[in-house]
Amino acid sequence: MATSIRSIKSLVPLLDRVLVQRIKAETKTAGGIFLPESSVKELNEAKVLAVGPGALSKDGTRVPMGVSQGDRVLIPQVSLTEVMNVGPVRRKIAPIALYKDDGFGGSPLKVGDEEFHLFRDSEINRRGISMPSKMKRHFSIALAILAGLVASTSAHTVLTTLFVDNVGQGEGTCVRMPLDSEHCTDPVESVVSNNMACAPAGGKLTFQFREWANGAQPGAIDKSHKGPCAIYAKQVLDMANDKVTGSGWIKLWHEGYDSTTKKWCTEKLIDNNGLLSFEIPEGLPSGYWIFRPELLALHDANKGDPQFYVGCAQVFVQSSNTAPLNVPAGYSVSIPGHVQAKEAGLTFNIYTPSFPYPLPGPKVFAIPPPKGEIDTTGPSVPTQTRGVIPPNYIVKNANWVGVEVPDYKDEKSCWAASENCWKQAATCYSTAPPTGDAGCIAWEKKCNGIQNACSAGNFQGPPNKGKKLTVKEPNPPATIPPAVNI
């Protein structure tokens, strides 16, 4: 059964930035599998896993191919009659078969029981193009080998998922994270970097940290990365446009070394499978808030290298309290600027510790409880207008939602609906965070269905109008820990 290259890549989700180079038909040279830049350094500048020789034999078929890295042969022979060619557009990849006359169009090439054509880039999204399962098997092997080579590049942590009252909001939904899958788990390089700042009141927020953003492997943070945790918050008027860097941050909670359990906060995080729960104070004013969990790894702090891991979750707090929060001087801080490089909490030696541990940053601000009952139905109570999921959405991927395409009843409107679908798909893939693109994959299948219907002359649609799409995501946690601040 034929499958798409998107399905193949989903077998190796760690390879989000791997690109299979275009085959040059005029020179009949095969491409290669390029590694992300940082992985190149890990592999001693060996930039390419070569797929070759890929030359044509006299009878017009491909010679047996191999996969190698420099002089090192990884797969001595891959008997493919065809070579896979991948379009260069990030996350929007379609396989194309190259056949013996290297022409465009013409009669199809038969591989087993399946037929293939070579299409120009501009035609990719208007054709149904697939790849034989034989090719799928061989290339998934090659990609799996590559995954083994780059796997060591992830050893840190990143905030990936938000739960509200124990209900997951979706992979990457409401979470601000770098789109760069290769570096998303890296620590913030400097305490003065802008990257330091990346539900109802009384409700519980749970932040999930992972070593592997997409959950491809288990783990929250390396056990050697011992240190404190903190949670900061900042109120904003416009979630989309207000700067989160700068003043206005308050610390709501922190924990360092627990002398009773003899564990650091990050060790407790590991025990809880990367989950950190926090109850929103009831006195927090209604409106848009950024909640910012912060982990500090001290394994190299004695060498002058404390490592911060931060994430931001965007939350609309529905509260009866509409009065502005009165924060005393000394409790409101700027981020960056909330910690100093030389303070004792950032230079602490965990190997020869002198407890108690001095927690870095400002003091925790205890939010005053609301005074009395306040009418929540009046016009002064803000309502959420930003980040609301539309009721007609079909599928969601992180902070992107796909909505149903327009109805169509003739050829022109059918292809217009197909174009609408593919434009949404392109936006989904281009904005998908390192947690993955499962929603985009599901949406792409819908686009293929519409495209195939248009090609077959079925101009009544869309098929399965309004039906929600099923998305495969990592299994939810079996248990969610209680809030740390109650």
Residue-wise pLDDT for 90-134, tens only, equals 222 222 222 222 333 334 433 334 333 333 222 222 233 332 332
29-33, 57-61, 317-321: which has the highest mean pLDDT? 317-321
What mean pLDDT do residues 410-427 have? Answer: 90
Task: Look at residue 162 in the predicted model and tell me its pLDDT.
Answer: 84
* Contact (Cβ atoms closer than 8 angstroms) between residue 294 and residue 156: no
DSSP 211: S
Window from 197-206, 268-277, 429-438 with minimum mean pLDDT: 197-206
Q: Cα torsion at 142, 120, 431, 238 (round to 10°)?
A: 170
Q: Kindly indicate the confidence band of residue 177, based on its pLDDT and cuts at 50, 70 and 90.
A: low
pTM exceeds 0.95 for this model? no
- In the chain, the percentage of residues whose pLDDT exceeds 70 is 59
Task: Judge contact between 398 and 471, C-beta under 8 A.
Answer: no
DSSP state of 146: H
What's the pLDDT score for residue 48?
30
Indicate if the pLDDT at residue 218 is higher than 60: yes
220: exposed, middle or buried (C-beta count within 10 Å: 0-12, 13-18, 19+)?
buried
- Residue showing tokens 């306040």: 374
pLDDT given for residue 222 in this prediction: 86
C-alpha gyration radius of the chain: 26
67 vs 371 pLDDT, higher one: 371
Lowest model confidence (mean pLDDT) among 20-29, 286-295, 451-460: 20-29
Across the range 144-153, mean pLDDT stands at 27
The yes-or-no verdict on residue 239 having pLDDT over 80 is: no
> For residues 236 and 77, which has the higher predicted lDDT (pLDDT)?
236
| pLDDT for the residue numbered 203 | 85
Spans of all domains in the chain: 5-152, 155-347, 389-480
CA torsion sign for 329, 332, 334, 335 is positive
The gap between the terminal CA atoms of the chain, to the nearest Å, is 54
d(CA 20, CA 177) in angstroms, rounded, equals 26
Do 233 and 250 form a contact (C-beta atoms < 8 A)? yes
pLDDT band at 53 (very low <50, low <70, confident <90, very high): very low
CA 319-325-327 angle, to 5 degrees, is 145
Of 26-35, 190-199, 352-361, the poorest mean pLDDT is in: 26-35
Q: What number does CATH give the domain 155-347? A: 2.70.50.70
For residues 345 and 357, the answer to whether their CB atoms sit within 8 Å is yes
- Residue 380 confidence class, pLDDT cut points 50, 70, 90: low
User: What is the tens place of the pLDDT at every residue in 439-452?
Assistant: 988 998 899 899 88
Whether 181 contacts 37, CB under 8 Å: no
Q: 318 φ, ψ to 5°?
A: -95, 110
**464 — alpha (psi -120 to 50), left (phi > 0) or beta?**
left
| Residue 232, pLDDT above cutoff 90 | yes
Higher pLDDT, 30 or 213: 213
